[in-house]
Amino acid sequence: MTQPHIGKVVCAIIERGTRFLVARRPRHTSLALKWEFPGGKVDPGESEEIALHRELMEELGIRVHIIERLSPVVHAYPDFSLELVPFRCRLMAKQEIQAHEHVDLRWIGIDEVHDFSFPDADIPVLEEYRKMLTSGGGLC
């Protein structure tokens, strides 16, 4: 039996200077205690961008400016599959970020990612992002 496909999941690489935000999943969830980019499922009839804005408001209480969409990643975990759609973003103004659904938040640099355990679907996103940074695509 094949695992259920949960559909599109959007995530935000929220940049601040040379760092970006990662969030740690709660212990009681799938992929427990993994670090991830904040985001969530795209609801039926919802655009990827609207879903991203909604999820970031729900999870972190923030508004962002979307810089660009990166390459989607289709990944199958043992119990579900998804299409992860990443976006580079920056905060719209100075805002207090609140961890409504995560157990920890950190601002890290691309060279620190090896210190954090990410879900497998996030690895190609991190690789594309690293290539973008080293080729002069730079942080905002």
Mean pLDDT of 115-127: 96
- Res 134 pLDDT > 90: no
Could you read off the pLDDT of 58-75 as tens digits, one per residue?
999 999 999 999 999 999
Going by the DSSP 8-state scheme, the letter that residue 20 receives in this structure is E
Q: What is the mean pLDDT of the chain?
A: 93
Report percent pLDDT > 70 for the chain: 95
CATH class of 5-110: alpha beta
139: confidence class by pLDDT, cuts 50, 70, 90:
low
Nearest-angstrom CA–CA distance, 3 and 7 = 12
Domain limits of the chain?
5-110
